[in-house]
Structure 1
Amino acid sequence: MRICFFGSSLVSSYWNGAATYYRGILKEIAALGNDITFFEPDAFERQAHRDIDDPPWARVVVYPATPEGWQRALTAAGRSADLLVKASGVGVFDVELENAVAEISSRALRIYWDVDAPATLEAIAGDPAHHLRDAIPRYDLVLTYGGGDNVVRAYRAAGARDCVPIYNALDPTAHHPAQPMAEFTGDLSLLANRLPDREKRVEQFFINVAQQLPGRKFVLGGAGWDTRPMPQNICKAGHVGTAQHNGFFSSALATLNVNRDSMARYGFSPPTRVFEAVGAGACLITDAWEGIDHFLEPGTEVLVAANGDEVAGHLDALDPARAESIAQRARTRILAHHTYRHRARQFHNLLEHMNTRTEAAE
Structure 2
Amino acid sequence: MPASVDTLFRPFRVRSMELSNRIVMAPMTRTFAPGGIPGEANAAYYRRRAEGGVGLILSEGTVIDRPSSRNHPGIPFFHGDEPLAGWEGVIDGVHDAGGRMGPQIWHTGAVDGPPAGDWTPDAPVESPSGFDAPGVERGAAMSDTAIADTITAFAKAAGEAKRLGFDTVELHGAHGYLIDQFFWAGTNRRTDRYGGMTIRDRSRFAAEVVAAVRAAVGSDFPMILRVSQWKQQDYAARLAETPELMADWLQPLVEAGVDVLHCSQRRFWEPEFPEIDGENGLNFAGWAKKLTGAVTISVGSVGLSGDFMGAFGGQGSTTVGLDKLVERMERDEFDLVAVGRALITDPHWVDKVRSGNAAGLKGFEAAALAELV
Question: Normalised by the size of structure 2, how large is the TM-score?
Answer: 0.36
- Higher-Rg member (1/2): 1
Specify which structure has the higher proportion of helix: 1
